Amino acid sequence: MVPHADRAMAERLYLQMLRIREFEERVNVLFLAGHIPGTIHLSLGQEACAAGACDALKERDWVTITHRGHGQALAKGVSAGSLMAELFAREGGCCRGFGGSLHVGDISVGAVPAIAIVGASVPISAGIAHAFKTAGEGRVSLCFTGDGAVGEGDWHEGMNLAAVWQLPVIYLCENNQYSISTRVDRMYRNDDLAARAASYGIRSITIDGNNPFAVRAAVKEEVDRIRGGDGGPAFIECLTYRQGGHKRDDPGTYRPREEVDLWLARDPVLRMERAIRREFGDSVADGIAADVTAEIDTAVEFAMASPKATGAIAS
């Protein structure tokens, strides 16, 4: 899984995935301890999508984030401290504590704060891409969505507009197999999501969304096309799995045990950890893990010390 020639990239991707994993595991504990108001949607199991996609982008490219967006925000460059403080509804949050978990982002690093209306970011990303195209700066708009968004009217209108105007936007669909409790094959008679996007005249592929190298390569190919002046929209369906329930009050018991086990065996972070240990040795993997733990410790301390945001959600 780890080509020797790409050691720096492999270490970078593993670090990013582990940051997301540890951030969210810590968030889970802190939520249960009562530090985080509202609710949270965790992306455990989907880390390779955000890490791979954002590694192929520059800061001046913009992403739109979903309701399951902690990993997307971290990977695009939102600091762990400001993200944690946002979840705590504190002044130091990336949206000054007014957004909470469902609305994270930081425009200064190209992470458009999440709206959380499923599918709404599809036409918005097209609009961003239109502005980029008009300015002629070769910037890229990348829209994260889930599989459930594919059934929304916004998705169809946005996809069509992006195709007709040949906009520099990459739609990255994290197909985690479920929209709340409904499996993708019960939502769509045709559950080949890439084929649905292709029907709008959009270049579309389906890839292993648990392999960060595959995600990075797919996004990079489209980014290069866009910067080279030959880029229209693209749709990348990343096959992945939501390891937990939809949100904190959902144990996810509607999923067959064998299915959960099958995907747990494909855990992207553990897969990458094994590859890093095998290729580069334990000290490299342990060093990355120690750096991540230190960063998340500092992020939690920052959030705890930050003053409560006046008027923010449930503060």
Note the residues at the interface with ligand TPP (CB under 6 A). Answer: 66-68, 116-119, 146-149, 176, 178-180, 242, 246
Among 264, 10, 261, 48, which residue's Cα sits nearest to residue 175? 48
Q: Cβ closer to Mg ion: 146 or 232? A: 146
The residue range among 126-134, 147-155, 258-266, 303-311 that interacts with Mg ion, by the rule CB under 5 A, is 147-155
- H or E element, residue 216: helix 212-227
Count interface residues toward Mg ion (CB under 5 A): 4
Cross-strand partners of 63: 111, 142
Taking the C-alpha atoms of residue 197 and residue 218, their distance in angstroms, rounded to an integer, is: 16
Contact present, 111 and 105 (Cβ < 8 Å): yes
Q: 51 burial class (0-12, 13-18, 19+ CB within 10 angstroms)? A: buried
Q: Cβ closer to ligand TPP: 92 or 244? A: 244
Smallest gap from Cβ 181 to ligand TPP, in A, equals 9
First to last CA, the chain: 45
Strand pairing class (178-179; 182-183) = antiparallel
Q: Cβ closer to ligand TPP: 46 or 306? A: 46
Q: Cβ closer to ligand TPP: 66 or 79? A: 66
* Contacts of Mg ion in 156-195 (CB under 5 A): 176, 179
Q: Cβ closer to Mg ion: 41 or 133? A: 41
Smallest gap from Cβ 310 to ligand TPP, in A, equals 27
Smallest gap from Cβ 151 to ligand TPP, in A, equals 8
Q: Which does 80 bind (CB under 5 to 8 A by kind): ligand TPP, Mg ion, none?
A: none
Smallest gap from Cβ 108 to ligand TPP, in A, equals 25
The binder of Mg ion chosen from 147, 222, 237, 273 (CB under 5 A): 147
The binder of Mg ion chosen from 93, 146, 231, 244 (CB under 5 A): 146
Q: Cβ closer to ligand TPP: 164 or 264? A: 264
Among 149, 285, 174, 158, which residue's Cα sits nearest to residue 237? 174
Smallest gap from Cβ 15 to ligand TPP, in A, equals 23
* Contacts of Mg ion in 42-101 (CB under 5 A): none
Q: Cβ closer to Mg ion: 144 or 302? A: 144
Smallest gap from Cβ 198 to ligand TPP, in A, equals 19
| Rounded (10°) angle between helices 212-227 and 47-55 | 30
Q: Beta strands of 76-228 (E only): which ranges? A: 111-112, 141-146, 169-175, 178-179, 182-183, 203-208
Among 245, 255, 233, 216, which residue's Cα sits nearest to residue 49? 216
Separation of CA 33 from chain center: 25
Smallest gap from Cβ 242 to ligand TPP, in A, equals 6
Q: Which does 23 bind (CB under 5 to 8 A by kind): ligand TPP, Mg ion, none?
A: none
Smallest gap from Cβ 231 to ligand TPP, in A, equals 25
| Rounded (10°) angle between helices 121-135 and 153-164 | 20
Within the chain, what is the greatest distance between any pair of CA atoms? 51
* Interface with Mg ion (CB under 5 A): 146-147, 176, 179
